[in-house]
């Protein structure tokens, strides 16, 4: 710590310590001097030294100090590498869930809601039919949030057996049950500082709903076999295709949990309500699959697009994705024509045949909601789960 003749203050050492850490913030530095006192040691630690050795030293202690500093440095490098790997994995996984595609009014409304809620920590409930892209919406919210550099953990509650629920979500300790051969962190703990996405939440039994509610309210979990609670800091997003509001009225879903998880409720429109987005979505999947199956550049004909727009898409975007993939695989041409797309026409025709009846039911439902709410459009729209713009568009459509 002293280099000039007669120097004993250690200031030179502190100066060089600062310069070293400016060049390499991850450097592990041990300070040494024959003029050590407690204040000098404290000053060194404040600047960033990891240890302080006073001359004369004991060789065994010196070696132990150097080995400790070396291991600390290796640990720092490993942590840095793990963080880089985590960021790479997050980016690669996220590529499978691209940005929301569309220019239709329902999608514009959806994007507006996402922009408003993303940077909050409000709990989100995403409602929509199967295949509409609820996980894509959840990932978009995470991607735009302050938690985007941390993990997005997806849990399909519909695929978890009741007996494994606590172990999967809250973790367990070694020996807690027969197959618990090691300690295991639950999804809540893994998602700490990130986003936890609970898909198919409507499938949870009432007893499990109670356990989930406790964890959300207390913001802590207790692994199976442990008596110590672990605090968790997560952004919670849930999704389901089930009518949770009706289920709460029938006591099939806890009302307190329902209110806890849906500070903001987002409705994802079915593909049949945004047919103008089909060309954009189709070309997106076309690009993916022509690259995946090493096909020459392909395009979809205008007749094919007309056919795709006439279909009602009961399976929504997921069904469209599979239709595009199959067409790319089976076609020998660079142009996909209407004959290249195999659709479940019988079901679609049946739905179209009932379309007038469905529209009449929708008109009557909107009319009833308006009357019930004294023609307060905002209140009626909220009751129906619609945005104001969508409500006005449908009122114009039906002449209300």
Structural domains of the chain ordered from first start: 11-78 (3.40.50.2300), 107-269 (3.40.50.300), 273-344 (1.10.8.60), 355-397 (1.10.10)
Interatomic CA distance for residues 130 and 347, integer angstroms: 16
Please state whether the predicted TM-score (pTM) of the whole model is above 0.75: no
Q: What pLDDT is attached to residue 267?
A: 95
Is the sign of the CA dihedral 306, 310, 316, 319 positive or negative? negative
pLDDT of residue 357: 55
Look over the chain and give the mean of its residue pLDDT values, rounded to a whole number: 87
117-172 residue pLDDT tens? 999 999 999 999 999 999 999 999 999 999 998 999 999 998 888 889 999 999 99
pLDDT at 14 over 70: yes
What's the CA gap between 134 and 156, in Å, rounded?
12
Q: For 137-141, which contacts have Cβ atoms below 8 Å and span 24 or more sequence positions?
A: 137/100, 137/110, 137/239, 137/266, 137/268, 138/195, 138/197, 138/237, 138/239, 139/94, 139/97, 139/197, 140/99, 140/100, 140/114, 141/114, 141/117, 141/195, 141/237
- Which residues, in sequence order, are bridge partners of residue 236? 196
Q: In this prediction, what percent of the chain has a pLDDT beyond 90?
A: 61
SS3 (DSSP) at 142: helix
Q: Which of 234-243, 284-293, 376-385 is the least confident region?
A: 376-385
For residue 281, what pLDDT is reported? 95
Structure confidence at residue 73 (pLDDT): 87
The confidence band for 370, taking pLDDT boundaries of 50, 70 and 90, is: confident
- Lowest mean pLDDT segment, chosen from 42-51, 127-136, 228-237: 42-51
Q: Span 101-107, mean pLDDT?
A: 92
Position 89 confidence tier, pLDDT thresholds 50, 70, 90: low
Average pLDDT over residues 100-126: 94
Q: Is the pLDDT of residue 347 over 60?
A: no
Express the helix, strand and coil content of the chain in percent, nearest 5 each. 55, 10, 35
Tokens of 305: 């697009």
pLDDT at 39: 84
Question: Token pair for residue 72?
Answer: 């600390």
């Amino acid at each position: 710590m002293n280099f000039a003749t007669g120097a004993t203050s250690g200031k030179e050492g502190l100066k060089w310590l600062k310069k070293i850490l400016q060049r390499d913030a991850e450097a592990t530095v041990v300070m040494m001097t024959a003029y050590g006192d407690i204040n000098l040691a404290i000053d060194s630690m404040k600047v960033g030294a990891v240890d302080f050795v006073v001359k004369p030293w004991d060789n065994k202690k010196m070696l132990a100090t150097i080995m400790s500093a070396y291991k600390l440095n290796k640990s720092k490098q490993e942590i840095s590498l793990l963080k880089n790997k985590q960021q790479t994995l997050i980016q690669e996984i996220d590529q499978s869930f691209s940005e929301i595609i569309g220019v239709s009014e329902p999608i514009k409304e959806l994007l507006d809601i996402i922009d408003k809620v993303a940077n909050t920590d409000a709990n989100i409930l995403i409602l929509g039919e199967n295949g509409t892209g609820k996980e894509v919406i959840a990932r978009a919210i995470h991607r735009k949030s302050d938690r985007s550099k941390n993990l997005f953990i997806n849990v399909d509650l519909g695929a978890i057996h009741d007996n494994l629920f606590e172990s999967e979500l809250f973790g367990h300790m070694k020996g807690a049950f027969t197959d618990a051969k090691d300690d295991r962190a639950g999804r809540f703990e893994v998602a700490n500082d990130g986003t936890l996405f609970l898909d198919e939440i409507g499938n949870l039994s009432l007893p499990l709903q109670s356990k989930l509610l406790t964890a959300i309210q207390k913001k802590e979990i207790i692994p199976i076999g442990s008596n110590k609670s672990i605090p968790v800091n997560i952004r919670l997003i849930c999704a389901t295709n089930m009518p949770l509001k009706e289920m709460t009225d029938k006591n099939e879903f806890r009302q307190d949990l329902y209110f806890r998880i849906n500070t903001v409720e987002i409705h994802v429109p079915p593909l049949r309500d945004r047919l103008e987005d089909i060309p954009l979505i189709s070309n997106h999947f076309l690009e993916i699959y022509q690259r995946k199956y090493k096909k020459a550049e392909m395009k979809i004909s205008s007749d094919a697009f007309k056919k795709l727009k006439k279909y009602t898409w009961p399976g929504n975007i997921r069904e469209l994705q599979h239709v595009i993939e199959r067409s790319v695989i089976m076609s020998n041409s660079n142009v996909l024509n209407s004959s290249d797309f195999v659709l479940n026409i019988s079901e679609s025709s049946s739905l179209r045949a009932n379309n007038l009846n469905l529209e009449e039911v929708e008109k009557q439902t909107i009319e009833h909601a308006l009357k019930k709410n004294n023609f307060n459009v905002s209140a009626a729209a909220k009751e129906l789960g619609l945005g104001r713009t969508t409500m006005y568009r449908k009122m114009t459509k039906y002449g209300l």
